[in-house]
Copies of this chain bind each other. A is one copy, B any other.
Amino acid sequence: MSKERLYLFDTTLRDGQQTQGVQFSLEEKHEIAAMLDGLGIDYIEGGWPGANPTDSEFFDAPPQLGHATFLAFGMTKRAGRSAANDEVLAGVVNAGTPAVCLVGKSHDFHVTTALGVSLEENLAAIADSVSHLVSLGREAIYDAEHFFDGYKANSDYALACLQAALEAGARWVVLCDTNGGTLPAEIGEITRAVIAAGVPGDRLGIHTHNDTGNAVAGTLAAIDAGARQIQGTLNGLGERCGNANLVSLIPTLLLKEPYASRYETAVTPEGLASLTRASRMMDDILNRVPFRGAPYVGASAFAHKAGLHASAMLKDPSTYEHVDPSLVGNERIIPMSNQAGQSNLRRRLEEAGLVVEPGDPALGRILDLVKAREAAGYSYDTAQASFELLARRELGQLPRFFTIDRYRVVVERRKNRFGETISLSEAVVVLFIGGEKRLSVSESLDETGSDRGPVNALSRALAKDLGPLQPFVEDMKLVDFKVRITNGGTEAVTRVIIDSEDSSGRHWSTVGVSANIVDASFEALLEAIQWKLLRDGAPAS
């Protein structure tokens, strides 16, 4: 039996940005778009050109995508002017994306109350806006806002809005449950009725919100009813309680029946296996602690705590697991058994080029050390370079390049002699290389004279005078710096993760933890330098 195609539409960069407290930078938008493209998402909605400076910049230099179609989001034209003369719509069109998604009203009450126009004017606005896009050679998508409430209030009018868009040439019309209040059974019924009324399922999309905790189920109900485009976000970001979570939906569609046999998407098995990492990268970008209980990708999603479960798991994993965790890039955790831990560990060491025989007692020691340090607030999920250094230290395979004696940082804010408030940091680092003592000092002012703070001063002092090691660190650059307050035992501590790169394009991440944020940063900086020296074969001292 040939499979039907389902199309995945991601709106993390648009509706996901409506999440309270979320505001993506330009670089983050590019990073997320590349990740979505790599996963096999079909449509990536980039934002609303003109809504804010970042979105506008993003459309000025759009991401280079392999598979996905890039979209701009906007609104159907306003009444009283033609589509070509509506400057809001023009802003969206001028973004030059191959596809455009326009939201419009489909609920009679909203047309008359919120827009204040007649029902006929709204139908004309939909048709004209879509025709305008199509005449410019764009793929047009119509998001029917409040569709389910609208259908219940006036089904003929709600359907007329969809028909207006389809007849004007829209590739897709999307049923949006904008306020998130429609339950799955009703989403299924109404979607079925829409298809029965003549809207083809392969031109029909679904957009749900999680206000009742049913966004994923509502999406599945719409697919069961015949919808073929699925809108959602990474980790279920979005306005209020969020949108349908693509990270939960994708494994269900690919691995679970009846979906796996009936449908296909552009997500490959490799894309699926990168899902756990993608979800955690998203949390990293948001500086959020990943939710351990997240379906499929959470750190606890395959953790078997109950003693009864754990022992049955050892006999046959299928007893308490509905899918194999490796298919989504996740891991089984059985707190009682060290067995699973050791094979995981060996795999990670191999990734770092360290081959350790099964049964080597160093494996147990490294595992214990990782556990103890994670309990103290460290995290080695992303800081792979620090993980490698930890393992090498335990295996006796880490040369000593230099020894830190002491450091001191002064942070100051005061008035200068012109009465202006200035801030300035100064760092002194003292270290030994091959028995020779070296003192370095740096301040925190950049080329423009702006204060970049104590960590910057420390980083510069540290890498300023490494003598014979200097050539090895010259091309290092600190590209990102993430700080999180976390629990280390009973006390709150600061975890700093530093991402570095060098001129060869290599990227690596290191971690430092302390109640003192400057100290945590210093540790992560030191690890970053050590890893670089190791990789480039610098001489031990």
Contact = CB atoms under 8 A, between A and B. Distances in A.
Contacts of A515: 450-453, 456
Copies of this polypeptide in the complex: 2
Given A20-B381, A241-B293, A298-B241, A411 B518 contact: yes
Interface in A9-30: 18-21, 23, 25-27
Contact of A423 (B306, B309, B492, B519): B519
Interface string A471-494: 000000000111111110001101
A319 interface: yes
A517 interface: yes
Given A18-B306, A211-B295, A211-B301, A179 B322 contact: yes
A181 B517 contact: no
A319 B481 contact: no
A281 to B, nearest CB: 15
A274 interface: no
A352 interface: no
A374 interface: yes
Interface residues of A, number: 122
A292 interface: yes
A339 interface: yes
A326 interface: no
Given A293-B242, A410-B409, A484-B483, A516 B452 contact: yes
A318 to B, nearest CB: 8
Contact of A517 (B178, B404, B483): B483
A212 interface: yes
Contact of A19 (B293, B296, B304): B293
Interface string A226-237: 000000000010
A186 to B, nearest CB: 9
A300 interface: yes
Contact of A451 (B53, B339, B404, B516): B516
11 contacts: A20-B300, A20-B381, A52-B338, A110-B319, A183-B220, A241-B294, A405-B415, A406-B414, A423-B519, A453-B516, A453-B517
